């Protein structure tokens, strides 16, 4: 007889094991595809290059691992943003806009509110980032709920509006004219011992905050009535309305929470004290778009997203070292794209797996 809590926790349930194995097979096929690309473009160096990808973040020793955690932090958050929206039946392609608006709020507070004590300053800046990100997702949420505007299009539009607004606001308020970017914030996240563990890397306490948010979102989605209602709206809006759930309010709230998560991701990156600034260029923030593959690979589950974010940061770090053997680091993006493509076949894969498991159970009986 298993203890009751194991039966209740669904982390190791059949469904999750099937999801995990299909994600891992997608990763394997994607990596093989990457090997083929390397072999075609430069056969003599291909295997050395492939080894570099596999060793990824470990290539640089402890510093490398620290960098992996540092790069994983914002994409875990934007992955959570996209994944949370997915769970509630919305495709938030606007994490990029929510991210940059959050970044501006964090930087503005980080630069201006210097009267706050340092131990509180970063918290206020981070909360400002969350609020700004949530606010940026509020409009697409309202438009979706009350005017039936496709949230994909609305959030794409908000991406561009956010980018131009932030560029304008940065030049008006916190501008470093010489470098065409925002000035450095005074507020900096605490390190919480991580720099002693991973010397010379940019890792900081932000990683712990991201992990904490993963747990919060996990509990929110899986253990609360509110989360259940949100998911129910995602599955079937009409049925959930029939069951007395306020679907419109839930759509707006899902978007706002998703936006806040992306905003926090920006806060964690721009308050890291790693020399990262908002650059005034007409290019959408990549961290927002990188959240999409993280969410997809993590099957939209918060725990899955944590590992997917770490994995993608890990291979991306491998891409930096790949340049030493005369390869172009974009091969990593090709591999990630291939992994996402094959993970789209998960449905078929899941059916096969479930049949196998079922067959085995019937045999046992």
Partner 1 sequence: MSTFYFLFQQTMFFSIPLLVVALGGMFSERSGVVNIALEGIMIMGAFSGIFFINACQTNFALNGQILLIAALCVSALTGMVFSLLHAYAAINMNADQVISGTALNMFAPAFAIYVARMIQTVQQIQFKNEFRFDFIPFLGKIPVIGPMFFQNTYLTTFLGLIILGISIVVLNKTRFGLRLRACGEHPQAADSVGIKVRWMRYAGVMISGALAGIGGLIFVIPTSTNFNATVAGYGFLALAVLIFGQWNPKRIFFAALLFGVMKTLAAAYTGIPFLSNLPIPSYFYKMTPYIATLIVLAFTSKNSQSPKAAGQPYDQAGR
Site residues (vs partner 1, CB under 8 A): 37, 41-42, 91, 93, 139, 143, 147-150, 152-154, 156-158, 160-161, 164-165, 167-168, 282, 284, 292-293, 296, 328, 330-334, 336-338, 340-341, 343-348
CB of 40 to partner 1, least distance (A): 10
Local structure of residue 279 (DSSP, 8 states): B
d(CA 199, CA 34): 31
Element (H, E) at 181: strand 181-182
SS3 229: helix
At closest approach, how far in Å is the CB of 249 from partner 1?
A: 19
Instruction: Tell the smallest beta-carbon distance from residue 344 to partner 1 (Å).
Output: 4
Measured between alpha carbons, how far is 18 from 26 in angstroms, rounded to an integer? 12
191-212: burial string, b at 16+ Cβ within 10 Å, e else: eeebeeebeebbbbbbbbbbee
Shortest Å, Cβ 207 to partner 1:
25
Q: Shortest distance, CB of residue 108 to partner 1, whole angstroms?
A: 17
Q: Which is nearer to partner 1, 159 or 250 (CB)?
A: 159
Q: Which is nearer to partner 1, 14 or 330 (CB)?
A: 330
> Which of 100/338 has CB closer to partner 1?
338
Based on CB atoms, which residue is closest to partner 1, 187 or 292? 292
How far, in Å, CA of 144 to CA of 152, rounded? 10
In the complex with partner 1, the residue whose CB is nearer, 272 or 312, is 312
Helices and strands in the chain, H and E counts: 16, 2
What residues pair up with 175 in beta bridges, in sequence order?
182
Rounded to 5 degrees, φ, ψ at 284 are -65, 145
> What does the block give as tokens for 79?
């992955």
Whichever of 186 and 338 has its CB closer to partner 1, that residue is 338
Of 124 and 161, which CB lies nearer to partner 1 in the complex structure?
161
Q: From 189, 158, 186, 163, select the one nearest 280 (Cα to Cα).
A: 163
Considering the complex, state which of residue 187 and residue 353 has its C-beta at the smaller distance from partner 1.
353
- Tokens linked to 36: 């083929």
Rg (CA), the chain: 21
Q: How far is the CB of 225 from partner 1 (least distance, A)?
A: 28
Q: What is the nearest approach in angstroms of partner 1 to the Cβ of residue 204?
A: 28
CB of 147 to partner 1, least distance (A): 5
Phi, psi dihedral angles at 7 (to 5 degrees): -60, -35
The number of C-alpha atoms within 13 Å of 43 and in the hemisphere containing its C-beta is 1
């Amino acid at each position: 007889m298993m203890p009751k809590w194991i039966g209740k926790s669904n982390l190791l349930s059949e469904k999750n094991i099937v999801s995990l194995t299909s994600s891992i097979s997608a990763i394997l096929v994607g990596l093989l595809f990457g090997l083929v690309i390397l072999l075609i473009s430069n056969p003599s160096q291909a295997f050395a290059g492939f080894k570099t990808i596999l060793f990824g973040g470990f290539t640089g020793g402890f510093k490398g691992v620290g960098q992996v955690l540092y790069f994983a932090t914002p994409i875990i958050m934007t992955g959570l943003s996209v994944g949370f929206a997915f769970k509630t039946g919305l495709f938030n392609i606007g994490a990029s806009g929510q991210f940059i608006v959050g970044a501006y709020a964090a930087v503005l507070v980080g630069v201006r509110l210097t009267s706050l004590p340092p131990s509180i300053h970063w918290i206020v800046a981070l909360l400002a980032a969350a609020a700004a990100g949530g606010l940026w997702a509020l409009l697409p949420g309202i438009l979706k709920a009350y005017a039936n505007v496709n949230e994909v299009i609305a959030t794409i539009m908000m991406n561009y509006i956010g980018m131009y607004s932030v560029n304008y606001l940065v030049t008006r308020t916190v501008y470093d004219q010489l470098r065409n970017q925002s000035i450095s914030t005074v507020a900096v996240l605490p390190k919480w011992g991580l720099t002693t563990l991973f010397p010379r890397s940019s890792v900081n306490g932000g990683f712990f905050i991201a992990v904490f948010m993963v747990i919060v979102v996990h509990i929110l989605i899986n253990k609360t009535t509110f989360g259940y209602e949100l998911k129910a709206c995602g599955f079937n809006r009409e049925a959930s309305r029939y069951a007395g759930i306020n679907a419109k309010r839930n759509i707006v709230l899902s978007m706002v929470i998703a936006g806040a998560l992306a905003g926090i991701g920006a806060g964690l990156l721009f308050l890291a004290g790693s020399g990262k600034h908002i650059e005034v260029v007409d290019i959408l923030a990549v961290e927002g778009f990188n959240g999409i593959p993280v969410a997809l690979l993590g099957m939209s589950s918060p725990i899955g997203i944590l590992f997917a974010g770490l994995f993608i940061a890990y291979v991306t770090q491998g891409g930096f070292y790949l340049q030493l053997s005369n390869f172009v680091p974009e091969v990593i993006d090709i591999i990630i794209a291939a992994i996402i493509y094959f993970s789209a076949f998960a449905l078929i894969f899941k059916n096969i797996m479930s049949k196998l498991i079922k067959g085995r159970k019937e045999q046992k009986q």
